[in-house]
Amino acid sequence: MSCILSNMGPRDEGKAWQAKWAKAVGDRIQAIRKARNVTVLGLSKRCTELGYPIPRSTLTNLETGRKETIVVQEITVIAEALDVSAVELLFPGLPDGEVEYLPGRTARAMDALKNFTGEDKQGRGQRNRFLAMMRAIEQARLDLEVRERTSSDTAGTRNFIESARGALIDAGYTVVGPPPQIEIEAFRTTILDESDNDDE
Contacts of 77 (CB under 8 A, 6+ apart): 47, 50, 51, 52, 54
Average pLDDT of every residue of the chain: 78
Q: What is the mean pLDDT of residues 25-43?
A: 96
Residues 182-188: contacts with CB under 8 Å, at least 24 apart: 182/132, 182/135, 182/136, 182/139, 183/136, 183/139, 184/136, 184/139, 184/140, 184/143, 184/157, 184/160, 186/132, 186/136, 187/132, 187/133, 187/136, 187/137, 187/140, 187/160, 188/160
Of 77, 84, 68, 75, the closest CA to residue 33 belongs to 84
Question: In sequence order, what are the beta bridge partners of 102?
Answer: 105
Least confident of 119-128, 130-139, 166-175: 119-128
Instruction: Please report the pLDDT score of residue 166 as a whole number.
Output: 74
Q: What is the mean pLDDT of residues 11-39?
A: 93
Instruction: Please report the pLDDT score of residue 159 as a whole number.
Output: 74
CATH topology (fold) of 2-117: 434 Repressor (Amino-terminal Domain) (1.10.260)
More confident residue, 47 or 146: 47
Q: Is the pTM of this model over 0.75?
A: no
pLDDT band at 2 (very low <50, low <70, confident <90, very high): very low
- For 16-50, give the DSSP string: HHHHHHHHHHHHHHHHHHHHTT--HHHHHHHHHHT
Distance separating alpha carbons of residues 117 and 39, to the nearest angstrom? 32
Q: What is the mean pLDDT of residues 86-110?
A: 89
pLDDT band at 120 (very low <50, low <70, confident <90, very high): low
Contacts of 43 (CB under 8 A, 6+ apart): 29, 33, 54, 59, 78, 81, 82
pLDDT band at 183 (very low <50, low <70, confident <90, very high): very low
How many percent of the chain have pLDDT more than 70? 72
Contacts of 80 (CB under 8 A, 6+ apart): 50
Count of residues making up the chain? 200
pLDDT band at 95 (very low <50, low <70, confident <90, very high): confident
**Would you list the domain boundaries of the chain?**
2-117, 125-198
pLDDT band at 187 (very low <50, low <70, confident <90, very high): very low
Q: Using one digit for the tens of pLDDT, what is the confidence trace for 126-155?
A: 666 677 777 777 777 777 777 777 766 667
| Residue 192 predicted with pLDDT over 60 | no
Least confident of 70-74, 104-108, 155-159, 192-196: 192-196
Sequence-ordered strand ranges (E) for the chain: 2-3, 98-102, 105-108
Distance separating alpha carbons of residues 136 and 118, to the nearest angstrom? 15
